[in-house]
Amino acid sequence: MPAIITNKFRIHNSEQFQESFSESSANVYYLAIGRPHAFGTSTRPDSRTEFEGSDTSAPTPVDSIQEEFYSFDDFMAAKKVTSNDISFAVPRRNWTTGTVYDYYRHDYGHLVTGSTSSTQSANSGATALYDATFYVLTSDFNVYKCLDNNGDANSTVEPSGTSNSILTTGDGYKWKYMYSLSAAQRQNFLSTDFMAVATNSTVSSAAVDGAVNIVKIKTAGSGGTNGSHTGVAIRGDGSSGECTVTVSGGAVTAVTVTTPGTGYTYGYIRNADIVSAGATSLSGSELDVIIEPKGGHGFNAVKELGGFFVMCNTNFEGTESSNTGDFVVGQDFRRVALLRDIKSGGSAASSTTLRGTKAILLASNSGNFTVDEEINQATSGAVGKVVEWDSSNKILYYVQTRHNDAGADSNGNLTAFSSTHTITGQSSSATGTPSSASSTVDSISFSSGYAGSEIDADTGDVLYIENRAPITRASDQTENVKLIIEF
C-alpha cells in the first residue's frame, strides 16, 4: 500500500523540538563532553577485548542501550542549552556566479503531464523541492528564492535588496527576497554547510495567498498569430489571475503575469483562451502555472525552504569560571552528547554547567598525578583514570569506566574510592592521602574528602552521540560546537 511521511511531518517534528527548549515544565537539555582518554582496544574483567577504534579513526556510535549507559562513564562536563542556543536551519547555498540554479516549482516529483513514466525534475536532477538548489545566500547575507532561472541559464548577477516585489536581475533570473541573517545569526547559526532560517515579518505580511506570479512554457505550440496577447485568463480555483502571452514565429515564447490574482491551489492557461486573445490558429501550446506555497512566497520561510533541521550552538569557554569552573582544562575530549532531563544530586538538573567527573580532596600528596594515568587505592581496590590534577587545591578529578585499568577492580566490579587510604598514580608514582574533612573547595562540596559527579549517571535520555578526534582544551580557549539535527 503506497504511502509517505511528508516533509511537513519532518518540519512539525523540528518545530516541536525547537519549542521544547522554551517549555518551563520539562525538557531541560545539556550538551556534554567526555572521553578524555584515547580510543583503543580495551580489556574487560572477563578477559575479553573490545575494539573502540582509535584517535585517528573514532568509532561510530551505536544506537543501543549499551551505548547510552557507556557514555555516562566518562562525561567530563555539561552545559545547559537554552532557547537562545537553538535555531531552525537549512543547508547553506552560497550564490556563485556562473551557476545554474533550480527554480521553485510546486510539482517536482510528479509525473509530467501526458507521460506515464517521466517525472518533473529540476535542472540539478532533483525530483523533490527541498533537494533542489532553489534558494541562495548572497554576500550581503540575504536569502533569496529563485522563481525563474531564465530557461536553465547561468546566474551571473547576484540578487540584492530587500524589496517585497519580485526582483528580475540582468541575467533574466527572477528572485524573491526571503530574509536576512542578522549579526547574531551569522555568529551563532552559520556554518560551512548550514545556516539559520527564519521568517521576516515584513515579507510575511506582504505575501499573498494563492497568487500566481510565474508561468512556464512546457510546449510552445505552433501556428499562432505573432504579438503580445493580453488579458489571457488564469483559470482554476483562484480568481482574477491574468497574463500576457507573447507569440513569435507562431509559437509561445514568453508568458508574463499581469494580475497575480488570489486563492489558486491549481491553475490552467488554455490554448483556446490564447487564441481568443488574438493568437489566431495557435495549437498545441501547454503552459504550466506555478502554484505558490500556502500563504504565498515568504509567508513562512521555515516551511518554504525545508527547515526540518535544528542547529544547536554551544560555547565551552575555558574553565567556565563564571559558572563555578566545572570544565577542566589541559585535557582533551573525544565525545559530544546531547542530554535531556538528566538529574543532579537526585533532582532535576538546572545549573548552567555541571561537573561530570568525580573528585577527591587530598590532605597531602607526594609528586604530581598526570592526566589519563591509572590510579589505584590498594586497600579498597578502587581503580580510576585521572582527568585533571589541581595541585594548588590538591583536588584529583577522575572517572571510572567498565574496563580494566580504568574503573573495574581485580574482581571485575566498580568499587568506589573511600576513606583515607592512599591513592597511587601508576605512571607518575605520585601518591595522595584523601582528606577526611567535609568542606567546600573551589566551589566543590566535599563530604569526607569525596565529591561525586554533578551528572547523575544513567538519568534522562541521551539524544545524540558523536565520537571524534581529540580536541585539547585550554584556559584561554573557547570551543564552539554547532550540532545539526535533521528530522
Cite the beta strand spans of 318-372 per DSSP E. Answer: 332-340, 343-344, 347-348, 353-355, 358-366
What mean pLDDT is reported for the chain? Answer: 96
For residues 172 and 200, the answer to whether their CB atoms sit within 8 Å is: no
Q: What is the pLDDT of residues 168-188, one digit of tens each?
A: 999 999 999 999 999 999 999
Residue 364 has, within 13 A of its CA and on its CB side, a CA count of 4
Q: How far apart are CA 96 and CA 99, in angstroms?
A: 6
- Confidence (pLDDT) at 27: 84
Which residues is 304 bridged to in the sheet? none
- Is pLDDT above 80 for 17? yes
Residue 25 pLDDT class (50, 70, 90 cuts): low
Q: How far apart are CA 358 and CA 127, in angstroms?
A: 53
Q: What is the pLDDT of residues 57-88, one digit of tens each?
A: 999 999 999 999 999 999 999 999 999 999 99
Closest C-alpha among 426, 425, 360 to residue 395: 360
The domain spans of the chain are 7-86+311-355+456-486, 215-289, 358-451
Residue 322 pLDDT class (50, 70, 90 cuts): confident
- Is pLDDT above 70 for 302? yes
Q: What is the pLDDT of residues 249-286, one digit of tens each?
A: 999 999 999 999 999 999 999 999 999 999 999 999 99
Residue 321 pLDDT class (50, 70, 90 cuts): confident
Residue 339 pLDDT class (50, 70, 90 cuts): very high
- Confidence (pLDDT) at 259: 98
- Confidence (pLDDT) at 271: 98
Q: How far apart are CA 279 and CA 452, in angstroms?
A: 85
- Is pLDDT above 80 for 35? yes
- Confidence (pLDDT) at 324: 79
For residues 50 and 40, the answer to whether their CB atoms sit within 8 Å is: no
pTM for the full model? 0.90
Closest C-alpha among 171, 110, 120, 111 to residue 146: 171
- Confidence (pLDDT) at 338: 97
Q: What is the pLDDT of residues 110-126, one digit of tens each?
A: 999 999 999 999 999 99
Q: How far apart are CA 37 and CA 53, in angstroms?
A: 12
- Confidence (pLDDT) at 239: 97
Q: What percent of the chain has pLDDT over 90?
A: 94
- Confidence (pLDDT) at 205: 98
CATH code at 7-86+311-355+456-486? 2.60.340.10
Q: What is the pLDDT of residues 435-473, one digit of tens each?
A: 999 999 999 999 999 999 999 999 999 999 999 999 999
The arithmetic mean of pLDDT across residues 410-414, rounded, is 94
- Is pLDDT above 70 for 334? yes
